[in-house]
Amino acid sequence: MNSKTLDVLQDIRRVGDGFQSSTVSTANGVTYGAHHMFTQVVIAEMAAPGKRLLNLQTVFSWGGVGGEPVDVTVETLQSGRSFTFLTLTYRQGERVLTRAEALLTVDEPDYLCYVDSSTVPTGLPTWVEGQMGDLWPGISYRDPSSSIKEASSWYRIQAPVDNHSVTRGLTALATEMGVLGALAAHDDSGGIRPRQGHVNVLAQNVTLYHLADLREGIVVRAAGRYAGQGRAYGDGTILDLTGRPIGSFSTTAVARGETVESGNTPAT
């Protein structure tokens, strides 16, 4: 397990009316959008004590500098007994890297009770260990039969995680790679290589239903729904190992060939 990555991600401090978070020094020198999603969950729950993250909608506008801190401002749109709505803005200097709308909730007794049925993940011992580097601070495995219609990865953290905000943050983090993995599974030429500058997440929407057990792990199951005109879209579910849905997500991405250049590089 890359415990150093998790230590850096948890290095969040209050600064004045806002927050500052550390970032991981990466091989390509930029910040990871998935890591921003982790800190967005943790900071939102710090800003709204007593509530937990229900939905996170994040847009990635610019890439940041890995290893340099990020300043975070939090605007409260509404805060009541049951819900809190926050806007989190991430900056390095004058540049806005990402902005998120966070909806937090206090869980209440069931009025309606329904869970969409999902296929129990099978064959996990045959899945291939992933090479996630500093992106995921644990162990990951990928279903070798993955395709654009169903790409599955199993994410685990070896050490116990006792902080529920950290658990939810890691669950959100894991979803960012799902649709990009489905696109990569579809690309026979090998031309799609996520996080190489031409296939990146533009916007991510995550809804969390239940708290995960990251020692056993979560399975992120994604499907590509559309790719064309330099853009892509997909969605997916987060499952525990019994097949119970933990959450859901959707992704809008840019998918260009390597010859296309742009001065606006998303932070992923």
Q: Which domains does the chain have, with CATH numbers?
A: 3-107+126-255 (2.40.160.210)
Query: pLDDT, tens digit, for every residue of 21-79?
Result: 999 998 888 999 999 999 999 999 999 999 999 999 999 999 899 999 999 999 999 99
H-only helix segments in the chain: 3-9, 33-47, 164-175, 178-186
**What is this structure's pTM?**
0.92
- As to burial, measured by CB atoms within 10 angstroms (0-12 exposed, 13-18 middle, 19+ buried), residue 134 is middle
Query: pLDDT, tens digit, for every residue of 233-246?
Result: 999 999 999 999 99
Q: How far apart are CA 187 and CA 185, in angstroms?
A: 6
Q: How far apart are CA 105 and CA 190, in angstroms?
A: 42
